[in-house]
Structure 1
Amino acid sequence: MTGKTAVLYRMVMPEHTCPFGLKSKDLLERHGFEVEDHHLKSREETEAFKRDHQVKTTPQTFIDGQRIGGHDDLRVFLGIDPPKEEQSDTSYRPVIAIFSVCALLALGLAWHQYGTVLVWASLQWFLSLSMFVLAIQKLQDVERFSTMFLNYDLLAQRWVPYSRIYPYGEALAGILMTAGVLNWISAPVALFIGSVGAVSVVKAVYIDKRELKCACVGGSSNVPLGFVSLTENLLMIVMGLWMGLAALVT
């Protein structure tokens, strides 16, 4: 027994178990609380609970007679998240996840192919894998991506269909570069969209000083436009030049 007790009210019905209730229970137990777990077993019971306690949502956690609130409030109370007024919408986590996984995958491919990670192919695969994984994020909702993209891309603002074509071009270039085939297609595509993108980002962020969201990881991104998007475009320029040179040599 820890001596710490929390009272939790959450929806547990035959057709639905609230995922935030499960998360709240797990958080409390991992922080050493004995959980007095109350199940709200019907819609009527849930609505009655919300009326009685004048709350809009469940789950609700109570500690020492004090209502802590829902799952997000509990995370703040336990010190996992900062207070809501200090929280920022900006998040680099999607970008960090993509580049980290692509880097590890590139090293894995190099090890499988050459028995070592210290080869130029590791860098090539990292860049090309990053391109088409970023393209996947955009292709999940092309219309939403295009709306965000139109805020800053100079070519898309002049020719709107380009905002829908862009993620397909990025995916095509990344796949061909990973395979190491048809460099005469992948190199010009990457070089073109990377150059236009880089110029657009520089103008929007560093010249016009606009504060925009980056569409680099899709239309629901909370990544600010700037360094990350510029890096993505510079990667495409580097790969375009690299694969273009390879096409000329071969």
Structure 2
Amino acid sequence: MSSASEKSAILYRMVMGTHVCPWGLRALHLLKSHGYTVDDRHLTTREETDAFKARHGVTTTPQVFIGERRIGGHDDLRQFLGLKVRDPKAKTYRPVIALFAIAALLALAASHAAYATPFTMRAGEWFVSFAMCLLAMLKLRDVAGFATMFLGYDLLARRWVPYATLYPFAEATAGLLMTANVLTWFSAPLALCIGGIGAVSVFKAVYVDRRELKCACVGGDSNVPLGFVSLTENLMMIAMGLWMLARPLLGA
């Protein structure tokens, strides 16, 4: 653990034109959230990164220095701060819990919509809300893995790292509330917000910056290329949010 007087750190991380290291973003957030003043030094080219690694005898970035001590990368920093480090080989029931939890909540939401709301949900509306819940479930199987991949391209998550962790819960909440046909004043703007940010982020990464990335939309362990699938997910949320707000006015 660090002492009270050691509240400044130097962080070296990759920030290139087409790539911002997600682990560097997470390390930066960790340091700031623990009260450190961070000298954030960017490695802007592959040559600069390779030279830095050779100079310090390391094989990966980011690298954190506190005082005269090299702490290491993101996981080393977590250990230094007394936080738990995720073991990718550890047994976990999280995927099963995520599946059954979403299934149970989806059943309750659909039952409520069928028997207790003034509007009848149509098949198309349920298709979108169900899809949102199922996509959220895939992300919730491994939130940390999803968040790391998501940080590679989402514009809001890059500015506020906790958003990457909150996103699957926000998507599930919007999908479940829309399925239940309740609290539309909250669920529709929520879907519009996360869908709009997501659509802009994907469009910029794929069609403006021409980056070849993996899509986090079906979880952090996927090999689906970022592009049409993720953009469609976000456009569906935008359309659903607009429709849920407009439907009472249209009497549909």
Q: Distance in 1 between matches of 2:121 and 2:165?
A: 33
* 1:160/1:150 CA distance change after superposition, 3 Å: same
Q: Does 1:238 align with 2:225?
A: no
Give me the whole-angstrom Cα distance separating, in 2, the residues matched to 1:247 and 1:156.
33
Alpha-carbon shift at residue 141 of structure 1 (Å): 1.0
Q: How does 1:118-137 map to 2 (within 5 A)?
A: 121-137=122-138
Q: Is the 8 A contact 1:127 1:235 kept in 2?
A: yes
| Paired AA for residue 233 in structure 2 | E
DSSP 3-state at the match of 1:222: coil
Aligned to 1:215: 216
Structure-2 separation of matches of 1:151 and 1:228: 16
1:39-54 alignment to 2 at 5 Å? none
**1:170 aligned to 2:145?**
no
The whole-number CA distance in structure 1 between the counterparts of 2:169 and 2:198 is 15
**In 1, Cα distance between the equivalents of 2:143 and 2:247?**
32
Q: Which residue of 1 aligns with 2:201?
A: 200
5+ long unaligned stretches in structure 1: 1-104, 114-118
The answer to whether the Cα contact below 8 Å between 1:183 and 1:247 also exists between their aligned partners in 2 is no
Shift, 1:247, TM fit: 5.5
CA drift at 1:243: 1.0
Alignment correspondent of 2:184: 183
The 1-side partners of 2:192 and 2:173 are apart by 13
**Equivalent position amino acid for 1:145 in 2:** F
**Partner letter of residue 181 of structure 1?**
V
CA contact 1:169–1:189 (8 Å) conserved in 2:
yes
Q: Report the Cα offset of residue 201 of structure 1.
A: 0.4
For residue 234 of structure 1, what is the amino acid of its counterpart? Answer: L
Structure 2: distance between partners of 1:229 and 1:222: 13
Q: How many Å separate the matches in 2 of 1:215 and 1:120?
A: 29
CA distance in 1, matches of 2:135, 2:207: 23
Distance 1:173 1:190 in 2: 6
List gaps (5 residues or longer) in structure 2. 1-105, 115-119
Match in the other structure for 1:161: 162
Structure 1 length-normalised TM: 0.52
Identity %: 65
- Corresponding residue for residue 141 of structure 2: 140
CA distance in 1, matches of 2:133, 2:185: 18
Q: CA deviation at 1:246?
A: 3.2
8 Å Cα contact 2:135/2:218 also seen in 1: yes
Deviation at 1:120, TM superposition (A): 6.8
Aligned to 1:6: none
Structure with bigger RCO (C-alpha 8 Å, 6+ apart): 2
- Amino acid in the other structure paired with 1:220: D
Asked whether the 8 Å contact 1:183–1:246 carries over to 2, the reply is: no
**Moved segments of 4+, more than 4 Å:** 247-250
Cα distance 1:158–1:246, how it changes in 2: closer, same or farther (>3 A)? Answer: same
Does the CA contact (< 8 Å) of 2:121 and 2:181 recur in 1? no
Q: How does 1:97-116 map to 2 (within 5 A)?
A: none
Contact 2:214 2:223 in 1 (8 A): yes
Cα RMSD (Å): 2.7
Give the distance between the partners of 2:150 and 2:241, measured in 1 at CA.
21
CA deviations over 1:62-91 (Å, ceiling 9, x no partner): xxxxxxxxxxxxxxxxxxxxxxxxxxxxxx
**In structure 1, what is the Cα distance between the partners aligned to 2:157 and 2:248?**
29
**In 1, Cα distance between the equivalents of 2:241 and 2:168?**
16
Q: Match of 1:227? A: 228
Matched residue of 2:122: which SS? helix
Kindly provide the amino acid, as one letter, of the partner of residue 208 in structure 2: I
**Cα drift, residue 148 of structure 1:** 0.2
Matched AA of 1:232: E
Provide the secondary structure at the position in 2 that maps to 1:244.
helix
